[in-house]
Every structure is written in C-alpha cells, then in structure tokens.
C-alpha cells in the first residue's frame, strides 16, 4: 500500500453528511409515485407543523420518511458493529452477519415474538431486548472460541461463524413453526427487509444506536491500541478486559437494534468499514463515525434499489446487500484483505 495520506475530518464529515442527505432525498423521492425534492421539503414542513393534507403528505411523512430514517439507522448500526467487531478480533473480515451474531439476535427476536403472541404491545421493548440477549450470548460464544486459540485466524473465525449461524438459523426456523399464522411476515423479516417501517420502530432503535454507536467514540484511541494486540494495548495503558466488555456490549446493542427491526441483513458491516479504511486509514477516530455515516448512506441506497428494481414487487434489502456483499467478501478473502 502506498503511503496513506490523511484527509481533514471536516471535509470528510461534510462529504459523508451531504451524501447521506442526498441519498435520503432520493429514497423519499423515488418510488411508485415520484416526489420532487421541493415537494418533499414542503410536505415535511407541513408534517412538522401538524398541518398535513392529502395523500402525498402522508406518503412522504408516514411512509417514506420513516423508511429512509430506519434504513439509515440500520445501516449505521450494522456498519458500526462491523467496526467494533473488527477491532475486537483484529480481523477485517469480522462482521455481525459472518460471525453469526445477527443469527443470535434473530433467534432472540423470534423467541420473544412467539412468547408475546398474546401481548403484542410488549414487543416494542421485548423484541429489541431479546435481540440484544441473543447477540450478546452469541458474541460471548465466539470470543470464547477465539480465546482458546489466542488470536482467531480468519479460517477459524469464518468456520465458527458458519457453524453458529447454521445452528441458530435452524433453531429460529424451528421456533417459527409455533407462529404459523405470521409465518410469511417472519420469513420475509428473516431475509432482511425494511418494509414494515414505521415511527415506533424508529423510537425503539434510536436509543440503542445512540448508546452503541456514540459511547465507543470515547474509546476511539483504545480501539486503535487494541489492534496492536492485548498485551501491547495493556502495556500502553489500556485496561483491555474492561474495554472488551464495553466493545462487546456496544456491538451487541447495535446488532440487536438492526436485527430487531429489519431481520438479517448481511455484509454491510463488512463492506462499508473496509472501504472507509481504504480511503481514511484504520484510525478509529475517523473510521467509526465515517463508517456509521457511510453505512447509513449505503443502506438507504440499497433499500431504494430493493423497492424499485422490480417495482411494483419489493425484494428484501438483505438480498441486495448479499448480492453485492457476497462477491465482495470472496474478493477480500482471495486477496487476503483480512489484515488491512
């Protein structure tokens, strides 16, 4: 790699925020009914002032706006979780989907969903909580596997991830049998989709994103030192065991937030941090916020593709990310990009 040149933070954030806003405008504007940007802003203004009128306002404020915001949040969560797990495992191929953590969150979601069949109001709290427990237990299992061999090499990381995902997916399918009446919704959810987006989802996910995505910024330098290995990080003054617990908790919170509302969407946490790292380098002071912003943008665009490419049929966004992320992952694996 050539000598990296570091970009100015203000420029980077300016570009990334502008890209996200443009993607969101596009996400709201395109669809079965196109809405020009001026109209979008006018509708949002009427929505804020409580003077909405007509179906176009409702389409913008109640349908497309929550959808792009949720897409942005989910993308931000997955991408942020990818960054955290990659630091934890010192491996750029670590991603919530590949490690099986998404499946763990999925299983937790499914269990709570079935248990609350009689009390659906509990789901807004119960489903994210179940997803968090599932994600946390899974990542603890993966780190325990890693601890038995010191640094988990790429092969064992992927193998344990595959084994864990399959097992958890089988359990999830098994539990799904107890909720036959909502099977179609659940299958669609497992494929990864944002079609059910609504404002209550956003209220559930936002605090999880803020906790899991913002708190690790306090550890931005510690995360860098973690890449040098546990011993070295400790020698340089990082309380490594506590840091790991914080990273595990934050990562699980982010994955849980994403999975609870959108099911299993793969590879975002792999692709986005990798591309950010190529451009900005591995420093978490930039990598984490830039990946969060980039992940949001990518997910808004992926969802736009999922909604429009076969319109009026909508495909799960998980299929879009897997179709681009899968080959990307194979390419990374072949060229040995797990150590960038």
Binding pattern to another protein, positions 268-297, x when CB under 8 A?
A: ---------x---xxx--------------
Cis peptide bond prior to 312, omega within 30° of 0: yes
DSSP per residue, 248-270: HHHHHHHHHHHHHHH----SHHH
Contacts of another protein in 82-101 (CB under 8 A): 90
**Contacts with another protein in 228-257 (CB under 8 A)?**
228-229, 231-232, 234-240
| From candidates 154, 197, 222, 297, binder to another protein by CB under 8 A | 222
Interface size with another protein, residues (CB under 8 A): 30
Does residue 219 touch another protein according to CB under 8 A?
Answer: yes
Q: At closest approach, how far in Å is the CB of 244 from another protein?
A: 13
Closest CA relative to residue 79, chosen from 273, 239, 229: 273
- Of 128, 143, 43, the closest CA to residue 87 belongs to 143
Closer by beta carbon to another protein, 38 or else 336: 336
Q: Minimum CB separation from another protein for residue 287, in Å?
A: 10
The two structure tokens encoding residue 70: 């949720």
Q: Residue 237 burial (CB < 10 Å; 0-12/13-18/19+)?
A: exposed
Candidate residues 165, 197, 224, 291; the one interacting with another protein per rule CB under 8 A: 224
Segment contacting another protein by CB under 8 A, of 186-194, 219-227, 260-268, 311-319: 219-227
**How far, in Å, CA of 116 to CA of 287, rounded?**
39
Q: Which of 1, 11, 121, 313 binds another protein (CB under 8 A)?
A: 1
- Residue by residue, DSSP assigns 25-75 as HHHHH-SSS---HHHHHHHHHHHHTT---HHHHHIIIIIIHHHHHHHHHHH
Binding residues vs another protein (CB under 8 A)? 1, 3-6, 90, 218-219, 221-222, 224-225, 227-229, 231-232, 234-240, 277, 281-283, 339-340
């Amino acid at each position: 790699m050539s000598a990296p040149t570091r970009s100015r933070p203000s420029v980077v954030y300016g570009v990334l925020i502008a890209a996200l806003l443009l993607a969101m405008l596009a996400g709201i504007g395109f669809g079965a009914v196109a809405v020009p940007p001026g109209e979008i802003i006018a509708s949002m203004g009427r929505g804020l002032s409580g003077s909405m009128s007509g179906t176009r306002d409702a389409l913008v404020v109640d349908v497309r706006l929550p959808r792009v915001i949720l897409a942005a949040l989910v993308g931000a969560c997955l991408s942020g979780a990818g960054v955290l797990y990659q630091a934890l495992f010192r491996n750029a191929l670590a991603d919530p989907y590949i490690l099986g953590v998404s499946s763990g969150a999925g299983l937790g979601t499914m269990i709570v969903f079935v248990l609350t069949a009689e009390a659906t109001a509990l789901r807004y709290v119960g489903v994210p909580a179940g997803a968090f427990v599932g994600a946390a237990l899974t990542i603890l299992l993966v780190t325990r596997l890693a601890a038995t061999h010191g640094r988990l090499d790429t092969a064992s990381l992927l193998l344990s991830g595959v084994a864990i995902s399959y097992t958890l997916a089988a359990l999830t399918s098994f539990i799904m049998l107890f909720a036959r009446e909502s099977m179609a919704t659940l299958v669609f959810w497992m494929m990864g989709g944002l079609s059910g987006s609504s404002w209550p989802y956003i209220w559930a996910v936002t605090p999880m994103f803020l906790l899991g995505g913002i708190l690790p910024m306090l550890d931005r330098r510690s995360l860098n030192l973690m890449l040098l290995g546990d011993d070295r990080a400790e020698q340089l003054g990082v309380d490594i065991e506590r840091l790991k617990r914080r990273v595990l908790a934050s990562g699980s919170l982010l994955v849980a937030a994403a999975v609870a509302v959108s099911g299993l969407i793969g590879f975002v946490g792999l692709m986005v941090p990798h591309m950010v790292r190529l451009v900005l380098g591995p420093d978490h002071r930039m990598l984490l916020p830039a990946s969060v912003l980039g992940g949001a943008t990518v997910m808004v665009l992926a969802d736009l593709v999922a909604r429009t490419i076969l319109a009026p049929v909508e495909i799960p966004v998980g299929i879009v990310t897997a179709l681009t992320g899968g080959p990307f992952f194979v390419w990374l694996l072949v060229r040995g990009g797990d150590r960038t």
